[in-house]
Amino acid sequence: MLERIKRTASFIQNKVGFEPETGIILGTGLGGLVDRIEVHAALDYADIPNFPVSTVKGHHGRLIFGMLGGRRVVAMQGRFHHYEGYPTQEVVFPVRVMKMLGIKRLFVSNASGGINTSFRVGDLMVITDHINLLPNPLIGPNIEELGPRFPDMHNCYDRDMITLATEVAEQEGIKLQYGVYVGGTGPTFETQAEYRYYKAIGGDAAGMSTTPEVIAARHMGLPVFAVSVITNCGLSDEPGDHEDVQRQGAKAGVQMTLLFERMIAKL
């Protein structure tokens, strides 16, 4: 695995000649942030050796290099999911590669179902902690060059970046919620009983991604900031609909883009 990561990072470095400071993972319907990037180079996932290929509608499948908020970034326009058939070790492969490319921090976004009854569709929830119900991507032999066998997950969402997000949100008039994200396998939307279970164990929002990438990032010592866009209310009687998730994500993504851009400029 380590040699695959190094080969892929070397290929990308030779192609783009650009060392990013910040990595960004864009979730369902949230690819609009790319429009704010002053693009230096873009690579389709299909053209990158060893990279998985996203098969989900709303995930474009490109690695974007450029400037955002005056800083060098690399953005994943589309991510990979365990429900597509990828082991979680493959889901986090791009995070490993971005670390090899030089990123110092990771921003993550996702579309999720609201569990907290005070949340509304379109809210931005800053993730303060998570409950991982997906297979842990660190299962198997540990690669000491990447991180320790038993990484600590206390404060896995960086407190300083959460504080910065709160300051930026106040300055820009962005409403933020805060809460715990539950990462499940999908691809089914959760049953109402499952949502009640997630609420009982402390969840505020639920989705089908994010936790593996965050675990891998923390394994490698990368600070993480993450936001869930609440695209549906899980405890309502409304059925889950992927098309609507994309629409709601695109609308709320405008505020998320502003938040990310302003935060990155201040880091």
- pLDDT tens for 165-177 read 999 999 999 999 9
Q: How far apart are CA 47 and CA 215, in angstroms?
A: 26
Higher pLDDT, 133 or 255: 133
* Contact predicate 41/74, CB 8 Å: no
Q: Say whether pLDDT at 146 is over 90.
A: yes
Cβ contacts of residue 9 below 8 Å, gap of 6+? 97, 100, 101
Strand, helix or coil for residue 51: coil
Q: How far apart are CA 226 and CA 125, in angstroms?
A: 9
What residues are paired with 44 via a beta bridge?
62
| Model confidence band, residue 54 (pLDDT cutoffs 50, 70, 90) | confident
**What value does the mean pLDDT take over residues 235-262?**
71
What residues are paired with 62 via a beta bridge?
44, 77
Helical packing angle, 2-16 and 93-101, nearest 10°: 50
Classify domain 2-266 by CATH number: 3.40.50.1580
Tokens matching residue 232: 């549906």
Higher pLDDT, 73 or 28: 73
| Model confidence band, residue 241 (pLDDT cutoffs 50, 70, 90) | low
pLDDT of residue 243: 65
| Model confidence band, residue 57 (pLDDT cutoffs 50, 70, 90) | low
Report the predicted TM-score, pTM, of the whole model to 2 decimal places. 0.92
**What value does the mean pLDDT take over residues 68-81?**
94
Q: Say whether pLDDT at 58 is over 60.
A: no
Cβ contacts of residue 221 below 8 Å, gap of 6+? 147
Strand, helix or coil for residue 16: helix
- pLDDT tens for 108-123 read 999 899 999 999 888 9
Name the pairing type of β-strands 62-68 and 71-77: antiparallel
Q: How far apart are CA 200 and CA 197, in angstroms?
A: 5
Closest to 101 measured CA to CA, from 132, 128, 73, 79: 73
* Contact predicate 96/42, CB 8 Å: no
Domain edges within the chain? 2-266
Q: How far apart are CA 87 and CA 70, in angstroms?
A: 35
Burial 203-230 (b: 16+ CB within 10 A, else e): bbbbbbbbbbbbbbbbbbebbbbbbbbb
Q: Say whether pLDDT at 249 is over 80.
A: no
Mean pLDDT of the chain: 91
> Which amino acid is it at 10?
S
* Contact predicate 251/122, CB 8 Å: yes
**Which percentage of the chain shows pLDDT scores above 90?**
79
pLDDT of residue 239: 59
DSSP state letter for 236? S
- pLDDT tens for 179-205 read 999 999 999 988 889 999 999 999 999
